[in-house]
Amino acid sequence: MSLGTRTVSHPDGVETLLTGARFELMPFESFDEEITHLPDGATIAITTSPQLGIERTVERTETAAELGYDVVPHIAARYVEDRDQLRDIARRLRDAGVTDIFVPGGDKEEPVGEFESAYDLLSALDDMEYYFEEVGITGYPEGHDFIDDETLMEAMQRKEPYATYIVTQLCYDPETVVEWIEDIRAQGVDLPVEVGIPGVMKYQRLLQISKKVGVGDSVKFLKKTTGILGFVKQLVGSRGTYKPDELIDGLAPYVGDDEYKIRGIHIYTFNQTPDTESWRYGRLED
């Protein structure tokens, strides 16, 4: 069933997506300020930074959990040294009350230790005494610059037994997301999907963040997942500020559909939470 067959408004779907959103934050200096703009008890995903490493992610997770947030740390496989470190990370997360983790492979060219892929880490974690109720893995609706679609699908199928949901990389086109979900369902992958969407992004602010991150990691991320030309077109068309209204409206008709299993949205905020929250509350009041 294609997106074109579902053009009617679904206000209930919009409300479900926006009220249950999870917010992704980067563990930089601005973290403490950005988190104050989110609702009490919000679900916060915390990335792994190439510059700061996995330890900063764990530290930020412990802090946010103490503040009462529902925290989902990114445990990027290529940033974890070995099974001993993985066991220590799992222990600290469980002690902090974390029940949900997200396990990407990580974009580091060379792994710091024995884990080459998310599958390697997931299978190692499965042998340990620490259990997480929810485990997320990555999906790529628009493919990956460095990995072909067949390899991506094979990797997802290998990881599926260890996971409870999929988080998609950022995508601007709701039809692409819907068609990708149809494709993975046809190939037997039945996990619920958290659709990754951009938050409200101001171009100048994003460039400032890129400089702080290092060699433009946030822009590199956008290039890898959406194509830099698509990103530029979106920003030019929106006069310098992007808002994900089209994505929300396009996904809303599929909320609650047992075939698609879209269980929510994962907002890539790029640490611009005030703008994103202002937009989100505005949509909920419509």
Q: What's the mean pLDDT in 177-189?
A: 96
C-alpha dihedral sign at 66, 131, 140, 213:
positive
Q: What's the mean pLDDT in 119-129?
A: 97
Label residue 272 by pLDDT band (50, 70, 90): confident
- The rounded percent of the chain whose pLDDT value lies above 70 is 83
Instruction: Evaluate if residue 30 carries a pLDDT over 60.
Output: yes
Which residues have C-beta within 8 Å of that of residue 215, sequence separation ≥ 6? none
Burial-class residue 238 by CB neighbours within 10 Å (0-12, 13-18, 19+): middle
Q: What tokens does 149 get?
A: 């679609």
Label residue 155 by pLDDT band (50, 70, 90): very high
Q: What tokens does 255 get?
A: 């909320």
Question: Does domain 3-281 correspond to CATH entry 3.90.800.10?
Answer: no
Label residue 209 by pLDDT band (50, 70, 90): low
pLDDT in tens, 214-253: 434 445 545 544 444 555 566 666 667 888 898 999 999 9
Q: Residue 35: its pLDDT value, please?
A: 96
Which residues have C-beta within 8 Å of that of residue 140, sequence separation ≥ 6? 147, 152, 168, 169, 180, 225
Domain assignments of the chain as residue spans, ordered by start: 3-281
Give this prediction's pTM: 0.87
Instruction: Evaluate if residue 109 carries a pLDDT over 60.
Output: yes
Backbone dihedral region for residue 247 (phi beyond 0: left; psi -120 to 50: alpha; all else: beta):
alpha
Label residue 56 by pLDDT band (50, 70, 90): very high
